[in-house]
Amino acid sequence: MTETVFPEGFLWGGATAANQYEGAYNEDGKGLSVQDVMPNGITTPPTEEPTEDNLKLVGIDFYHRYKEDIKLFAEMGFKTYRTSIAWSRIFPKGDETEPNEAGLAFYDAVFDECLKYGIEPLVTLSHYETPLHLSREYNGWASRDLIGFYERYVTTVFNRYKDKVKYWLTFNEINSVLHAPFMSGGISTPKEELSEQDLYQAVHHELVASASATKIAHEINPDFQIGCMVLAMPAYAMTPKPEDVLAARHFENNNYLFSDIHVRGEYPGYAKRFFKEKIINIEFAEGDAELLKENTVDFISFSYYMSAVMAENPEEYNSGEGNIIGGINNPHLESSEWGWQIDPVGLRIVLNDFWNRYQKPLFIVENGLGAKDELVEGADGELTVEDDYRINYLKQHLQQVGEAVKDGVDLMGYTTWGCIDLVSASTAQLSKRYGFIYVDRNDDGSGTLNRYKKKSFDWYKEVISTNGESLYK
Ligand code: BG6
């Protein structure tokens, strides 16, 4: 018995980010980005210059192999494909007045290739790849100057791709700047030396830039759909103790702050109270308040990997590993090989929470399992990966997505993270694989870069072709 759950036109697909898979880090005029000096992700401080051990310099060489890769996405039946534009390909240093034509031409070719197969591009404007020059010379988003540079960049790409791209995301996981200020916000002041005043001021700059991008986008093409993108993480209380429940709420507010401003156009009361108590004074320039209020987003997108557990006194409990944000270990959940706790029901919860709070369309733009894969010979003699663990993970999550849709949530689509293996953001490893397509490249940089379809490739293809009905077989 199959079930019709997912709406017609549901945007099934996969997601990537330029810095994690393009490679060609200094080709055709590209400038350096913060990622080019992060050989170990967020686990060690940045290096002075790019170093050979940085896997992102070559990535999986999508820059030269995009036709082959997009063909494979089309074979899976992708309706949409999420990627990002590397800001430093368009404005190599970030503060120039004229863009780099070769960079613009590359994304023309990528989007044309997608459109050739009827795949709708979904484009992140800034995905952890602030031009390094803006980080070193201006201290990234800590400086208000970044707003103007970002406006110039987004105006350029909106104009250039106005007939090719409809769906845009302003900043990847915008709330992650609180936890990874260099990777997320290009802020070169080391995290431990960065004051909360400067950090939240940087947040304000990004929020203003996001609203400004939304305004510019709608002026350039009223059909554009602009989304915010947040790292979503529902928080559970460790016990029914009201103080633990409150701790969970406070944790969630740290994330809601970002979507509240994007959707409602103003700072919520709990944020104002927090700033007052911490003696943080957010400096508003003239017009900021109106800009935020008048340019709210069309939809809310988010990544979902895990839930969190909070308590009034978290030090009393064992802590778990996390993506960028950690928390207390949840004894009811299993963990991935990287210690990320697996919680499909949490995805249903977070979808309902967002929907109940905002009644705006939602889009899951990242979800997936980072796991070690082994390349083996399949029944047909071709090399493959028997990744039943990944299929199980995705199936369980998608079934919960289905439950949320049945709950009445308006969901636009679902793109799995790293639909083709790429370099991890947090650890910069290639062995932490998410893809339906295996890429032969190892953590030491060796490998042919050849692509192989995993077992999950055909599984996802069937999910898409049946619009999710195969999940219920
Ligand atoms: C999200 C990011 O935090 O999680 C991606 O938007 C990232 O860039 C993904 O790759 C998975 O994290 P990781 O550290 O396993 O690559």
pLDDT tens-digit readout, 414-453: 999 999 999 999 999 999 999 999 999 999 999 999 999 9
| Residue 81 alpha carbon to ligand 1 centre in Å | 16
Residue with CA closest to ligand 1 atom 14: 426
| Residue 28 alpha carbon to ligand 1 centre in Å | 27
Does pLDDT of 224 surpass 90? yes
Residue 324 CA: nearest ligand 1 atom is 3
Does pLDDT of 1 surpass 70? no
Within 8 A by CB and 6+ apart from 31, the residues are 88, 89, 91, 92, 93, 94, 131, 132, 133
Does pLDDT of 82 surpass 70? yes
Residue with CA closest to ligand 1 atom 2: 425
Mean pLDDT of 9-31: 98
Does pLDDT of 323 surpass 60? no
261 lines ligand 1 (CB under 6 A): no
Does pLDDT of 362 surpass 60? yes
For 25-43, write each residue's pLDDT tens digit: 999 999 999 999 999 999 9
In order of 67, 261, 313, the CA distances from 310 in angstroms are 45, 24, 8
Q: 372-408 burial by CB neighbour count: b if 16+ within 10 A, else e?
A: ebeeeeeeeeeebbebeebbebbbbbbbbbbbbbeee
Does pLDDT of 243 surpass 60? yes
Mean pLDDT of 224-251: 97
What pLDDT sits at residue 284? 98
Question: What average pLDDT does the chain have?
Answer: 97
Asked if residues 100 and 145 have their Cβ atoms less than 8 Å apart, the reply is no
Does pLDDT of 408 surpass 60? yes
Task: Give the pLDDT band of residue 318 (cuts 50, 70, 90).
Answer: confident
What pLDDT sits at residue 320? 67
| Residue 276 alpha carbon to ligand 1 centre in Å | 33
Mean pLDDT of 343-349: 98
183 lines ligand 1 (CB under 6 A): no
Does pLDDT of 92 surpass 80? yes
Under DSSP, is residue 40 helix (H, G, I), strand (E, B) or coil? coil
179 lines ligand 1 (CB under 6 A): no
Mutate to test the pocket of ligand 1, among 233, 341, 426, 430 (most ligand atoms within 8 A of CB): 426
pTM above 0.75, yes or no: yes
Residue with CA closest to ligand 1 atom 5: 425
Mean pLDDT of 166-189: 98
Residue with CA closest to ligand 1 atom 9: 425
Mutate to test the pocket of ligand 1, among 424, 427, 432, 434 (most ligand atoms within 8 A of CB): 424
Does pLDDT of 202 surpass 60? yes
Strand partners for 83: 123
Task: Give the pLDDT band of residue 315 (cuts 50, 70, 90).
Answer: confident
| Residue 304 alpha carbon to ligand 1 centre in Å | 10
Residue 338 CA: nearest ligand 1 atom is 15
| Residue 351 alpha carbon to ligand 1 centre in Å | 19
Task: Provide the token pair at 45.
Answer: 């401080």
83 lines ligand 1 (CB under 6 A): no
336 lines ligand 1 (CB under 6 A): no
| Residue 426 alpha carbon to ligand 1 centre in Å | 6
Residue 368 CA: nearest ligand 1 atom is 11
What pLDDT sits at residue 4? 84
415 lines ligand 1 (CB under 6 A): no
Asked if residues 356 and 277 have their Cβ atoms less than 8 Å apart, the reply is no
| Residue 222 alpha carbon to ligand 1 centre in Å | 31
- C-alpha to C-alpha distance for 211 and 214, rounded to whole angstroms: 5
Does pLDDT of 269 surpass 90? yes
124 lines ligand 1 (CB under 6 A): no
Does pLDDT of 8 surpass 60? yes
Residue with CA closest to ligand 1 atom 10: 425
Residue 423 CA: nearest ligand 1 atom is 16
Residue 172 CA: nearest ligand 1 atom is 6
Residue with tokens 């960049």: 153
* Rg of the chain on CA atoms, in Å: 21
Does pLDDT of 253 surpass 60? yes
| Residue 16 alpha carbon to ligand 1 centre in Å | 9
What pLDDT sits at residue 398? 98
List active site positions: 173, 366
Does pLDDT of 57 surpass 80? yes
Residue with CA closest to ligand 1 atom 12: 425
Does pLDDT of 324 surpass 60? no
What pLDDT sits at residue 319? 76
Task: Give the pLDDT band of residue 343 (cuts 50, 70, 90).
Answer: very high
